Amino acid sequence: DAGITQSPRHKVTETGTPVTLRCHQTENHRYMYWYRQDPGHGLRLIHYSYGVKDTDKGEVSDGYSVSRSKTEDFLLTLESATSSQTSVYFCAISATGGNVGNTEAFFGQGTRLTVV
């Protein structure tokens, strides 16, 4: 398995509290991604990073912020958690290849977040 660790694996938090999820990689890959998955749905991209301090929004970025101060860590923050952010969050990494899109992405095992 690719060296990806998500923490925590499970978290229950109250509405209105800030929450930070961490994705740590040991592969030195350039690209990192945060996805969310809701019951019965596919994964939706929240934010991604294409290098240290270089991030961009995905399709469902509202209510989320990210930071990447070093290659190995990509943090996802919910500034003020809401019940609609209850979901399973997946981190992914991928390397750069000769052609854009030509390197596989590997996923972590997910963080199950419940906002009550």
> Can residue 109 be called a binding residue for another protein (CB under 8 A)?
yes
Among 27, 44, 67, 77, binds another protein (CB under 8 A): 44
How buried is residue 65: exposed, middle or buried, by Cβ count under 10 Å (0-12/13-18/19+)? middle
Distance (Å, whole) CA 74 – CA 34: 8
Among 38, 60, 75, 88, binds another protein (CB under 8 A): 88
Among 43, 63, 71, 75, binds another protein (CB under 8 A): 43
Question: CA distances (Å), 36 to each of 26, 76, 91, in order?
Answer: 22, 11, 9
Binding interface with another protein (CB under 8 A): 31, 33, 35, 37, 41-45, 48, 50, 58-59, 88, 90, 92, 94, 96, 99-110
